[in-house]
Structures are given as structure tokens and as C-alpha cells.
Amino acid sequence: MTKSTWFLLLIIINVILIGPISGFAAEASAEKQGILAQIGIDFQTIILQALGFLVVLLVLWKFVFGRIGGLLEERQQEITSRMEKLEADQSELDRLNTETRQRLNEIEAEGQAKIQAAIDEGNAERQRILDQARQEASTELERARAEIQREKDEAILELRGTVAEIAIDAASKIIDQTLDAEKHQHIIDESISRLPTQNV
């Protein structure tokens, strides 16, 4: 309650407690005093009421207002302390929220960087495997070509030998004579040169 409320309460108490006593005193002295008493003004009653009011005011001031003021002061300090603590807690909460958001952003950025690094590493590994496969295919193709060429050369040599034998045999039968080595080679070369050539 505020001081004005207490002041109003004192006036009401004064009227309730002291008013009837002063009224009785006023009636008793009204007959003795003249015109002032007839219009309702009694100095003794006024002084008595003022003294009663001051006594009640002093008593209330000493025993009620002081304690209530102290309680109000303590309550105000407690509320102020709680408000300061709440503000400090709110500031700490805001700081923690900011740090948490910042850390989450950092974790997300780190995760994206790791994912991108893994993608890049996968692409590099895929390219390395493709290059290795191309190299192996090229090597295998060259080996196959070399093998084909070797087999082709062997087949040609074998074919020459077979053709030479057939030619010699045929020539021997035709001319009915045995050829020496030099003539033999000459006939073979001529027979082979007349054979059609094909690219295998």
C-alpha cells in the first residue's frame, strides 16, 4: 500500500476512534461557550482531535510505516535482483544460442567440404581407373596386333614353303629333272612373285 493509502486509513481511524469522544466533549462544553459553540466550533475538540491524529500518526509511522517501508524496500531489491538475474540469464542464453548456431553452421560447412572432397576423390579415382583401363586395352590391342602380325608372317612363310614344294614338285614332273639349289630357289621366287598378295 502507498503512503497516501495509509494516510487515508489514519484519517478514517481518527474519525472512528476520536470523533465520538470529541462529540461528547463538544456537547458538554457547548452550553458553556457561546456563539462558537453554537456553530459547532470547539477548540478543545479540535486540539484533542489534532493530538489524537498526531499520536496515531506517530504510532503508525513508528510501527507500521517503517516495517512496511522496509518490507517494500526488500521486496523491491529482491525484484530488482531477480530482474538483473533474468537479464543476465537471457544474455547468456542468447550468447549460447548464437554460439550453437555458429557451430552448427561450421559443422554444416565442414560436412559439405568433406562431401565435396569425397566426390572429387571419387571422380579422380574413376578417371584413374578409366585411364588405366584404356592403357590396358591399348596394350592388349597392340599385343593382339603383334600376335596377328606374327601369325600372319608365320602363315605366309608356311604358305611359301607349301607353294615352293608344290611348285618344285610340279616343275620336276614337268621338266622331269632334278634342280640344283640355285635353280630351285630361283623357281620358288618366281612362283611366289606371281602369287596374288592379300592384306590379312
Per-residue pLDDT of 127-172, as tens digits, reads 999 999 899 988 989 989 898 998 888 888 888 777 777 767 666 6
The residues of the chain scoring below 50 in pLDDT are: 22, 24-26, 28-32, 200
* pLDDT at residue 28 in the model: 47
* pLDDT at residue 194 in the model: 67
Q: Where are the domains of the chain?
A: 3-96, 149-194
pTM of the entire structure?
Answer: 0.36
How far apart CA 95 and CA 100 sit, in angstroms, is 9
What letter does residue 39 receive in the DSSP assignment? Answer: T
133-153: buried (b, 16+ CB within 10 Å) or exposed (e) per residue?
Answer: eeeeeeeeeeeeeeeeeeeee
Give residue 56's Cα distance to chain centre: 68
CB distance 44 to 25 below 8 Å: yes
